[in-house]
Amino acid sequence: MKSTVISILVASALIAGAFMFATRSPEIATVENVYVGHGTQFIDITAKGKYLPHLTAAKADMPTVLRMQTNGTFDCTAALTIPAVGYRSMLPPSGVTEIEIPPQKSGTTLRGVCAMGMYNFEVQFN
């Protein structure tokens, strides 16, 4: 009887764990990609096939530098547009492109999109 209860508990925990794992979006930053140093925050975003992470949580009201990383990027994610700051440029196939973003108000979402609007990323400032 006792062992039945234990196996039901173990099974439930496994199912719950598998469910949480399956529903967790891989698009959202699972690694830290925001660094603060010398009064500026740096945000790393990789462009290759898509933008990763898709969603970044950043601090409002401080100078920000987006560091766009490319590495053998020959798809259209290299043709980057950030309409809110008037940015429109081709990223090099490989390298790091720094884009200065002025301090953003809390609640602002900055969106970067590829030239054809197929892929995008968002930075939410709070």
Please tell me the distance from the alpha carbon of residue 126 to that of residue 117, in angstroms, as a whole number. Answer: 25
Binding site for Cu ion (CB under 5 A): 76, 114, 116, 118
Residue 113: CB minimum distance to Cu ion, A: 8
- The answer to whether 125 and 108 have CB atoms below 8 angstroms apart is yes
Query: Nearest distance from residue 112's CB to Cu ion, in Å?
Result: 11
Query: Smaller CB distance to Cu ion: residue 63 or 93?
Result: 93
Q: Which is nearer to Cu ion, 47 or 58 (CB)?
A: 47
Query: Smallest distance from the beta carbon of 120 to Cu ion, in angstroms?
Result: 9
Q: In terms of CB distance, is 65 or 76 closer to Cu ion? A: 76
CA-wise closest residue to 112 among 103, 124, 102, 104: 124
Task: Kindly give the residue spans of alpha helices, DSSP state H, lying in 1-126.
Answer: 2-23
- Phi and psi at 72, nearest 5°, equal 65, 40
